[in-house]
Structure formats: C-alpha cells, structure tokens
Amino acid sequence: MNIVKTYPNVAVLSAAAAELFAEKACQAVEKRGRCHVALAGGGTPRLMYELLAKEPYCTTLPWDKIHVYWGDERCVPAHHNLSNQLMARQSLLDHVPIPEGNIHPIVYENSPSTAAEDYEKMLRATFEGQIPQFDVVFLGLGDNGHTASLFPDTDVLKIQDRWVSPVYVAEQDLYRVTLMAPIINQATAIIFLVAGSTKAQVIKEVIEGPRDSTRLPAQLIQPGNGELYWLLDHEAAALLNLETRYL
C-alpha cells in the first residue's frame, strides 16, 4: 500500500519522519519486545536523525530495545566522511542511550564481497536463519532512480539468492554493499524520505510511471504485507498528479 505524504519543506518532512519512526518503533517493541530498523544513507535522513537525538525522542524511545542496521554502506573505512555509519553515529547514535551491541554496521575492511558475506552471516544469526523482517526500513532515492545501493543497470539487480551483495557503482568509482530488494520488501514499514526539486522527475517516474525496475530500481521496493511510505517535500512532489499526492 503506497502512502504518499507531502510537506512544505525538508524540516517539516524530517519532523514527520521522526514522529513516524517513534510510532513504529514503540509499536514493534510493544508487540515483539524489540525493534529492528535499517537506516538510510545519503544526506536527506540526517535532519531526521538529528531530531531523534533530541528531546523528546532521546529520552522517551526504548533505545535499549532498538537494533540499528544499514540498508547499504559505501566500501570506505568507518571513519571516512562517505561512511553511512559515521553519519548516523555523528547525527544520532552517539547522542542516545543505545547499547553498542544494538548497532550492527556493515563492516568494510578490504573486500566488498567479504563485507557483504559477513553482513549476511550476521543477519542469518540475528534472525535465526529466517528471512529478516525489519520493522522499519528507511530509504532515500537518487535522481537516477537508485535506492539503497541498488543502482540502475547493475548486475546486483539480477541476484536472487543473496540477502546482501557488493555492487560496483561505475559513476562513483566506488564499491558499495546493499541489502537486496526482497529483504527490504519483508519489512513491516518502508519509509522513503525524498526532498528537493532535483528529485521531482524521478519521483513521478517511480511512483506514476510504467514499471522499469532495471532503469528505476526503486520500483523494486514493493513490500509484501507491509506499508510503503513516501514522505516528500513539495518540491519533490511537484510533478505528481494531485490524486497521487493524497494516496
């Protein structure tokens, strides 16, 4: 079920996203005693993370029962400024009482394949061999239609038998590691955060356009039984048909 919500600007969008996460996290903890959340990288989520690091969330959320993962990671050292883990630690995790054992980064040392294999092993152990069902997965959207590190026209889109995979992104000359779409799609709630006029065209194509998931991998994100939220600022939603905006 597509739920499209639009907001005047990224600040209001981020406040709504923080509130939505708080609601979903508390529901998960109440229901299952834990919340498994996969964080998005890139720049858009930073403001939401910073809001979650402040009152009321930093003291009211059950951080000891929240387990944090990443939807993808760049193959750089953990202290590198491109690291999604570093961004999340600096904007959120270093400022809330979450036990270090609840933080599950994608660890890259010198091999993208090893990083992906190790992450998959960790997931298999954590979810006791069952296909992972995250309570919340946050995602961003690139202006070329990628999400997580599922980039257009890359071999990673054809892989069926892996939960986590390395991917070489030629336009960035960078290896990354990503959760695969079937794993993301198991989530109870998938939340896209998309802001800015540069995303208006790709948002229209992904949400309203014909399916072409090789060109627009974000279209692979179709939760089985979960909810799919598109939290957009007005600039990103500008080209959507009116009826889509209020789905």
**Footprint on this chain of ligand 6PG (rule: CB under 6 A):** 40-44, 72, 84, 140-142, 146-149
Cβ closer to ligand 6PG: 149 or 188?
149
Rounded CA separation 29/66 (Å): 8
Cβ closer to ligand 6PG: 148 or 240?
148
Q: Are 5 and 146 in contact (CB under 8 A)?
A: no
Min dist. Cβ of residue 6 to ligand 6PG (A): 17
Q: Tell me the CA distances in angstroms from 74 to 71, 158, 173, 211, one per residue in order.
A: 11, 20, 11, 27
Kindly report the length of the chain.
247
Residue 146 CB contacts under 8 Å (≥ 6 apart), including other chains: 152, 217, 218
Cβ closer to ligand 6PG: 148 or 191?
148
Min dist. Cβ of residue 133 to ligand 6PG (A): 20
| CB-nearest residue to ligand 6PG | 140
Cβ closer to ligand 6PG: 65 or 236?
236
Cβ closer to ligand 6PG: 41 or 105?
41
Rounded CA separation 236/200 (Å): 4
Min dist. Cβ of residue 143 to ligand 6PG (A): 8
Min dist. Cβ of residue 101 to ligand 6PG (A): 24
Residue 243 CB contacts under 8 Å (≥ 6 apart), including other chains: none
Min dist. Cβ of residue 103 to ligand 6PG (A): 17
Residue 186 CB contacts under 8 Å (≥ 6 apart), including other chains: 131, 132, 133, 134, 223, 224, 226
Residue 168 CB contacts under 8 Å (≥ 6 apart), including other chains: 112, 154, 174, 175, 176
Q: What residues form DSSP beta bridges with 66?
A: 35
Cβ closer to ligand 6PG: 65 or 206?
206
Min dist. Cβ of residue 5 to ligand 6PG (A): 17
Tell me the CB-side half-sphere exposure of residue 39, using CA atoms within 13 A: 31
